[in-house]
């Protein structure tokens, strides 16, 4: 696999918070930097802001070219002028999560360490980066939102891990969230979710270039481990139907070595590999160019720890008592990583808390990734829910010049 180290020359737009952030683990992380992008214009009343929360390996470049990969934004289909999340009406904010590697403070950020001889130098946090939670990510986003002078977000929207952040937003800062759209997500990671994440993590640890997490010292990155982690995770994002439709059992010629570059392609005896293998290898190798292994470990751990009911004797309704937020829970019929049953747990908890909740399961055979792909019913649901919520919030009653 390609071992190109992520170009550090890319400058991300950032907000700096010198006072830092008190984390759930008890550590105060200071300073904290949050990289973000915005789209559209904030209304003079500052009431039209939508925060979009990205998934595990997503980033703040939601609706524009990602500067590292050169690929289009991950939700460009959804966010933009005239699109379901309409930037002609709404001010969209998307930030790179705390612990991420696209400009926000994370394991790859530099810190000052003092050696035994009293000399201080700068080095990445690496595995010493404090453990963070989904709520810590949300706290960091709140600092950013407050910096824009926004007291209440019109909506918080996100899928997968982004959906977990949406739930934490509504639970932790109910007065700051008018509407919440958790998509293809869960109130806690199931044992199966944790198991998949653990396999990913073990793949990274097993890489000879891991070096106890201090891989920067050797000018290498645990590319094979990280690539395998991504390949495994990617399978969980798709469905059997989607894989079959896309690849079936088709084979193709393979002229390249099939493993990390050191071992020849032992399994491609006939000079051919399955299309699906080739696809996963491509997914794995392109991932290591844009993502940091320590970030991957930090963030998957944060997802595993997420549990909305933890402080309420396991009752996920606990955090939502008295909530006035309008919820729209969306899931996809073929998603087996965050299945419909998990969304139903959210809906039932919200119902027990007498919250105003809409719940739609979108018929799709594309698996968990469906929230990133073209699903017209999904787009209509988001657009309709947001416009209904905007009506209830009293937005756009008069045509404001700013909109």
Partner 1 sequence: MRLDQRLIAKMITPGTRVLDIGSGDGTLIDHLFRTRGCDARGIEIDMGEVTRSVAHGLPVVHGDADHDLAHYPDDSFDYIVLQRTLQAVERPREVLRQMLRIGRYAIVSFPNFGHWEMRLKLLLGGRMPNTAVWHTPWYATPNIHPCTIRDFLALCDEDGYRVHEWMAIDEEGDRAPWRRSIRLANLFGEQALFRLGKGR
Q: Which residues are annotated as a binding site for substrate?
A: 230, 369
Under rule CB under 8 A, residue 387 binds partner 1:
yes
335 is catalytic: yes
User: Given 43, 335, 343, 364, which residue is catalytic?
Assistant: 335
Catalytic residue flag (residue 160): yes
- Indicate whether 328 belongs to the interface with partner 1 (CB under 8 A): yes
The answer to whether 221 and 288 are in contact (CB under 8 A) is yes
Burial class (CB in 10 A: 0-12, 13-18, 19+), 120: exposed
**C-alpha to C-alpha distance for 248 and 163, rounded to whole angstroms:** 31
- Can you read off the two tokens belonging to residue 304? 């595993």
Where b means 16+ CB within 10 Å and e means fewer, 196-232 reads bbeebbebbeebebbeebebbeeeebbbbbbbbbbbb
Query: Which residues, including other chains, have CB under 8 Å from residue 113's CB and lie 6 or more apart?
Result: 120, 121, 122, 123
* Span of 75-83, 170-178, 249-257, 375-383 interacting with partner 1 by CB under 8 A: 375-383
Residues 2 and 262: their CA atoms lie apart, in Å, by 12
Asked if 320 is part of the footprint of partner 1 (rule: CB under 8 A), the reply reads no
d(CA 99, CA 354): 34
154 or 385: CB nearest partner 1: 385
Binds partner 1 by CB under 8 A, chosen from 184, 285, 385, 395? 385
Interface residue with partner 1, options 357, 370, 372, 395 (CB under 8 A): 357
> Using the rule CB under 8 A, which residue among 216, 359, 396, 400 binds partner 1?
359
Minimum CB distance to partner 1 smaller for 127 or for 333: 333
Work out which of 204, 228, 273, 347 binds partner 1, going by CB under 8 A: 347
360 binds partner 1, rule: CB under 8 A: yes
Of the residues 251, 388, 400, 403, which one makes contact with partner 1 according to CB under 8 A: 388
Q: Is the peptide bond before 31 cis (omega within 30 degrees of 0)?
A: yes
List 289, 358, 396, 403, residue binding partner 1 (CB under 8 A): 358
Binding range to partner 1, per CB under 8 A, among 133-141, 151-159, 298-306, 374-382? 374-382
- Number of Cβ atoms within 10 Å of the Cβ of 241: 13
Q: 374-403 burial, b if ≥16 CB within 10 A, otherwise e?
A: ebeebbebbeebbeebbeebebbeeeeeeb
Phi, psi dihedral angles at 376 (to 5 degrees): -55, -40
Site size with partner 1, rule: CB under 8 A: 26
351 binds partner 1 (CB under 8 A): yes
Q: Are 307 and 321 in contact (CB under 8 A)?
A: no
Beta strands in 104-253 (DSSP E): 110-114, 120-124, 153-159, 177-183, 251-253
Query: Could you tell me the smallest distance in angstroms from the CB atom of residue 86 to partner 1?
Result: 14
- 160, 285, 295, 343: which one is catalytic? 160
Q: Give the CA angle between residues 86, 87, 93 to the nearest 5°.
A: 115
Q: Which of 25, 30, 354, 373 binds partner 1 (CB under 8 A)?
A: 354
- Tell me the closest approach of the beta carbon of residue 317 to partner 1, in angstroms: 9
Contact between 348 and partner 1 by CB under 8 A: the answer reads yes
Residue 92: count of CB within 10 angstroms of its CB: 26
Does residue number 363 form part of the binding site for partner 1 (CB under 8 A)?
A: yes
Q: Is 380 in the site for partner 1 (CB under 8 A)?
A: yes
Task: State the catalytic residues.
Answer: 160, 335, 368
Which residues would be at the binding site for partner 1 (CB under 8 A)? 326, 328, 347-348, 351-354, 356-363, 377, 380-381, 383-385, 387-389, 391
């Amino acid at each position: 696999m390609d071992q190109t180290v992520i170009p550090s020359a890319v400058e991300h737009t950032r907000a700096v918070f010198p006072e830092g952030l008190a984390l759930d683990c008890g550590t105060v992380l200071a300073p904290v930097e949050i990289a973000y992008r915005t789209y559209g214009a904030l209304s003079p009343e500052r009431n039209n802001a939508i925060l979009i929360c990205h998934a595990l390996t997503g980033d703040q470049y939601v609706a524009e070219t990602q500067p590292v990969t050169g690929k289009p934004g991950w939700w460009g289909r959804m966010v933009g002028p005239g699109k379901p999340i309409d930037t002609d009406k709404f001010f969209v904010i998307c930030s790179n999560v705390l612990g991420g590697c696209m400009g926000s403070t994370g394991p790859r950020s530099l810190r000052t360490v003092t050696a035994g001889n009293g000399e201080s130098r700068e080095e990445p946090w690496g595995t010493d980066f404090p453990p963070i939670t989904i709520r810590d990510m949300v706290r960091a986003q709140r600092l950013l939102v407050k910096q824009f002078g926004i007291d209440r977000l019109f909506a918080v929207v996100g899928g997968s891990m982004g959906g977990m952040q949406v739930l934490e937003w509504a639970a932790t800062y109910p007065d700051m969230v008018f509407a919440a759209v958790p998509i293809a997500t869960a109130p806690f990671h199931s044992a199966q979710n944790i198991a998949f994440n653990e396999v990913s993590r073990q793949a990274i640890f097993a890489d000879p270039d891991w070096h106890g997490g201090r891989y920067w010292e050797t000018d290498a990155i645990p590319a094979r481990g990280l690539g395998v982690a991504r390949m495994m995770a990617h399978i969980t994002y798709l469905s059997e139907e989607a894989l079959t439709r896309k690849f079936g059992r088709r084979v193709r010629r393979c002229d390249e070595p099939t493993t990390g570059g050191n071992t020849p392609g032992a399994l491609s005896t006939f000079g051919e590999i399955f299309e699906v293998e080739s696809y996963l290898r491509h997914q794995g190798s392109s991932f290591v160019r844009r993502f940091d292994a320590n970030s991957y470990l930090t963030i998957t751990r944060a997802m595993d720890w997420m549990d909305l009911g933890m402080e309420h004797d396991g009752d996920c309704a606990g955090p939502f008592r008295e909530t006035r937020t309008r919820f729209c829970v969306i899931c996809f019929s073929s998603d087996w990583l965050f299945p419909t049953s998990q969304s139903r747990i959210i809906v039932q908890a919200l119902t027990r808390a007498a919250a105003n909740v809409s719940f739609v399961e979108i018929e799709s055979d594309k698996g968990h990734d469906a929230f990133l792909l073209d699903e017209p019913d999904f787009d209509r649901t988001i657009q309709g829910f947001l416009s209904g919520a905007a009506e209830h919030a009293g937005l756009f009653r008069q045509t404001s010049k700013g909109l």
